[in-house]
Amino acid sequence: MTQHVSPPRGGTGKVIPAGEPPAWRGLAARADVRTLSLLGVLAVLVLIGGVTQPDAFLDTRNLQLVLTQASVIGVVTVGMTFVIVSGGIDLSVGAIVALASVWATTVATQDFGFGGILFTAVLVGVGCGLVNGVLIAYGGMVPFIATLAMLASARGLALLITDGRTQVVTVDSVLDLGERDAYLLGVPPLVLVFAAVTVIGWLVLNRTTFGRRAVAVGGNAEAARLAGIDVRRQRLYLYLLSGLCCGIAAFLLIVLAGSGQNTNGNLYELDAIAAAIIGGTLLTGGRGTITGSVLGVLIFTTITNIFALNNLQSDVQQIAKGAIIVAAVLVQRRTASTT
């Protein structure tokens, strides 16, 4: 982490110094400076991985593994980004993933095969999101509290369903998705799902009225209300969306692990929030990018992988992650103070 992450946009009216050669200007002007910095960080990480473990890290299988691991948390992070952009927070994502994954892998559900598992996972996710959304938008609860309550209850319900046991998936069509035979041109299907969610998320945030209103609510809820936006309904939809992403992520996790467990998705909420934050999403709402969040996920997953390959303990990983979050937020604050 020696790369200096420069502030995204200049302060009031300041133009970003145009040091790039003319050919780069167009690209640099289009892409957010922050996005470029995150790509730079990722490149440095890949370099570190390549230098420290030239064979193991750059191996195709390893890169496939990194991307697959990133997929589950990545889908959750896309939903989380929407919630944070709108000025909210969803602490229940990990618990919802756990509940959806165990509900979708009960013996009864597995009887319905592939469709039953997928449908149940998504439905449970959306259902939890609905509860969060109603409590927050119409019940006037603070998002932190409402989703904290959901975290506790969903985890409890997941434990109740499994009684602590691992529910092994016996539906072959689901398990096959995780096999190498299912890879498309070397890309695992889970990664394709992640890519699709990312693209759709980007389009929804940047090109639809829904995304625009989410940003408006997060940037200034009172102004949004006085501009005629139905702020409550918008908030409800945002938590539904987060729940939907958790349901999809739960299905990916079922494919990846071949089972459902009540301990699934542990601390996903922290990983997703952290990835969104270092990706440039303001925790206070009003600004955020899907691209940044996804790069944040990739950076974290890559770090984990490099550390694992170098036989470093997970405690060291956690410390490194913490340092990155602090660095990213300090940069954000400096940026904010210049505006």
Partner 1 sequence: MAPEPPLLSMTGITKSFPGVRALDGVDLDVQAGEVHCLLGQNGAGKSTLIKVLAGAHQPDTGTIRWRGDDVTLRSPIAAMRLGIATIYQELDLVEHLSVAENVHLGHEPTAAGFVVRTRAARESTAALLARLGHPEIDPGRLVGELSAAQQQIVSMARALSHDVRLIVMDEPSAALDPDEVDNLFRIVGDLTAAGVAVVYISHRLEEIRRIGDRVTVLKDGRAVAGGLPARSTPTREVVALMTGRTVEYVFPERPSAPPPGEPVLSVRGLSRAGEFAPLDLDVRGGEIVGLAGLVGSGRSEILETVYGARRPDTGRVYVDGSPLRTGSVRAAVRAGLGLAPEERKAQALLMLESVTRNVSVSALSRFSRAGWIDQRAERGAARAATRELSLRPDNPSVPVRTLSGGNQQKAVLARWLLRGCRVLLLDEPTRGVDVGARAELYAVVRRLADEGLAVLMVSSEVPEVLGLADRVLVLREGSVVHEAPARDLDEHRVLDLVMEGSPAS
Question: Which positions touch partner 1 (CB under 8 A)?
Answer: 9, 12-13, 207-210, 212-213, 215-216, 219-220, 222-230, 282, 286-287, 339
- Smaller CB distance to partner 1: residue 2 or 337? 337
Least distance to partner 1, CB of residue 238, Å: 14
Least distance to partner 1, CB of residue 175, Å: 37
Least distance to partner 1, CB of residue 223, Å: 5
Least distance to partner 1, CB of residue 30, Å: 13
Pairs from 159-163 (Cβ < 8 Å, separation ≥ 24): 159/262, 161/99, 161/102, 161/103, 161/106, 161/262, 162/102, 162/260, 162/261, 162/262
Q: What are the Cα distances from residue 136, in Å, to 143, 205, 212, 267?
A: 6, 21, 20, 22
Per the structure block, which two tokens stand in for 163? 């009684």
Going by C-alpha positions, the residue among 243, 282, 304 that lies closest to residue 78 is: 243
Please, which residues bridge with residue 260 across strands? 167
Q: What is the DSSP letter of 286?
A: S
User: Do residues 9 and 16 touch, judged by C-beta distance below 8 A?
Assistant: yes
- Smaller CB distance to partner 1: residue 87 or 143? 87
Least distance to partner 1, CB of residue 226, Å: 6
- Smaller CB distance to partner 1: residue 208 or 318? 208
- Smaller CB distance to partner 1: residue 311 or 337? 337
Pairs from 107-111 (Cβ < 8 Å, separation ≥ 24): 107/167, 110/169, 110/170, 110/171
- Smaller CB distance to partner 1: residue 229 or 249? 229
Least distance to partner 1, CB of residue 318, Å: 32
User: What's the CA gap between 228 and 231, in Å, rounded?
Assistant: 9
- Smaller CB distance to partner 1: residue 146 or 217? 217
Please, which residues bridge with residue 168 across strands? 259
Find tokens 């408006």 and name the residue: 216
